[in-house]
Every structure is written in C-alpha cells, then in structure tokens.
Amino acid sequence: NLVNGYDLSIRTLARVAALKAALPEQVIVMLSNHELAQRNDEGILLNSPDTSVGGAGSSQRNLISANGKEGIKVDNDGAGAVLRNNYIGTDVSGSLAFPNNNAGVSVRAAGAIIGGSDPADGNLISGNGKEGVKLDADDCVVQGNRIGTDASGLSDLGNGADGLRINGSSNLVGGTAVGAGNVIAHSGKNGVNVRNGSLDNSILRNSIHSNTEMGIDLADDGVTLNDAQDADAGANQLQNFPTLTR
C-alpha cells in the first residue's frame, strides 16, 4: 500500500496518479491537500479469511484515511481478520483528523481481532465521519485501541457517531489482561452502543469518557431503568447498571 501525508511536487503527483490508475486496489493515497486527495470507496476491503492489516512497529503501520466510505471494511467472507497498529482517520502524526466518510472500521464477518493487549497492537481509530468501529458480527475482540483520541490518548479527535457500535453477540471489548482496555472518548453519540438482538457481549476495563450521549447504551434508547432481579430482556439482556451508595 502507498499512503502519503506529505506535500508532493507536480511530477510526483503525476507518478502517484499513474500508479493509482494501474493498481487501484493496491494503492491508497491520502494527501495533505484535501483538493488533491484520492478518495476511494473503502480504503481497504477484506473479503478473504484470515487476513492481517498492520503489525508491530511503525514500519508495519498503515495510514488509512480520507476515503469516501469506510477506512477498513471486513466483508462477509473476511472471517478471522486481524487489524493491528494502524492509524485510521488521522494524519501520519495521529494528531489531526483526515476522516473516512463512514466508519473507521466496519466488520461483517465473525472472529475479527482489532488491536490487542500488547501496547504495539492497538489501533488509533479517530476523526471518522460516522462510527469509529462498527461490528455487525459475532465473536470479535476489540482491545487496546484509542478510539476518538489523538495518538497520545489524551486529546479530542472524536468520531462523528458512536465510538463502537455492536450489532452482534459474544464479542469482547477490553478484557482483564493488562493493556486490554480501550480508550473510547469524544464520540458524537455514545461511547459504546449495543443494539437490540445483541447478546453476551463483554465490555471490560475500558476507559469510556467525554462522549456526547451515554458511555454505554443498551438498545440505543437512552437510560434503561434498572428492574428487580434484572429479569428483563433485550440488548445484552438489558443488564442493570451499578448503583453507588455511601
């Protein structure tokens, strides 16, 4: 993949344009001048199983930004995709937004791994037009990512809609291992939105803060009141929220 966040000469631009025309699926171009930016549909479309995007170290990191639709789309045939250490929706420094118009990451196949508990594995998924991560899948793992912040994890670089939207079951967001928690912040809507029909999703040890609506919203309808013995049904079984008393 070719990803570029620098000002280029006209000669270099011409070479990039020719390479893009010859290899449209392999060349991803993001220029600092928005008028010259190459807008693909998806930045990367995965439709084969067990594909990896990114890896440890800056030399294996992809910059996937300024695309017309999703940054990365894992389609129905892309089960087992692994996405690690990418910058999705930002510039090369991770401090400015170069939005993908839709979600930063959209997953429609089971078993995807987005990030990991090792500090080198987490993705930066920020500044995108809609969701940071949209899971329409089961059995996925989302760990160690910064969603809606800059590369430092401290400053606002929020996504336009939910930080993470889940429309699936048995997904793990965060975890009990050191480094497994995600930072999910500054979202235009909820930090995490668990949709109706989604069951048994574990959301553990994440830092979820400074979102426009709720930190975690079950059923996308605002606050769901607690019920006796937590007997109601719905998104994540409409689990009661904790009540703190002095």
The two tokens of residue 38 are 């190459």
Cβ neighbours around 74 below 10 Å, total: 31
Q: What is the side-by-side order of every strand in the sheet holding 216-218? A: 44-46, 72-74, 105-107, 133-135, 164-166, 192-194, 216-218
**Residue 243 has what pLDDT?**
82
Mean pLDDT of 61-72: 90
Can you name the residues that pair with 192 across neighbouring β-strands? 164, 216
CA distance 183 to 17: 37
**Residue 32 has what pLDDT?**
40
Q: Is 169 exposed, middle or buried (0-12, 13-18, 19+ CB in 10 A)?
A: middle
Q: Residue 138: pLDDT above 70?
A: yes
Q: Render pLDDT for 152-211 as a digit per residue (tens, 0 to 9).
A: 999 999 999 999 999 999 999 999 999 999 999 999 999 999 999 999 999 999 999 999
Lowest mean pLDDT among 17-31, 51-65, 132-146, 184-198: 17-31
Residue of 102, 103, 110, 43 lying closest to 75 (CA atoms): 110
Percentage of residues in the chain having pLDDT higher than 90: 63
**Residue 128 has what pLDDT?**
97
Altogether, the residues listed in the chain come to a count of 246
Q: Residue 35: pLDDT above 50?
A: no
Q: Residue 34: pLDDT above 60?
A: no
Q: Residue 13: pLDDT above 70?
A: no
Whole-number average pLDDT of the chain: 86
CA 180, distance to chain mean position in Å, is 15
Task: Map residue 200 onto helix, strand or coil.
Answer: coil
**Residue 3 has what pLDDT?**
42
Q: Residue 226: pLDDT above 80?
A: no
Cβ neighbours around 59 below 10 Å, total: 6
**Residue 12 has what pLDDT?**
54
Can you name the residues that pair with 17 across neighbouring β-strands? none
Mean pLDDT of 133-148: 98
Q: Render pLDDT for 187-201 as a digit per residue (tens, 0 to 9).
A: 999 999 999 999 999
**Single pTM value for the model:** 0.84
Mean pLDDT of 212-241: 84
Q: Residue 38: pLDDT above 70?
A: no
Q: Residue 78: pLDDT above 60?
A: yes
CA distance 15 to 108: 35
Residues 6+ apart with CB under 8 A from 228: none
Residue of 146, 104, 164, 96 lying closest to 129 (CA atoms): 104
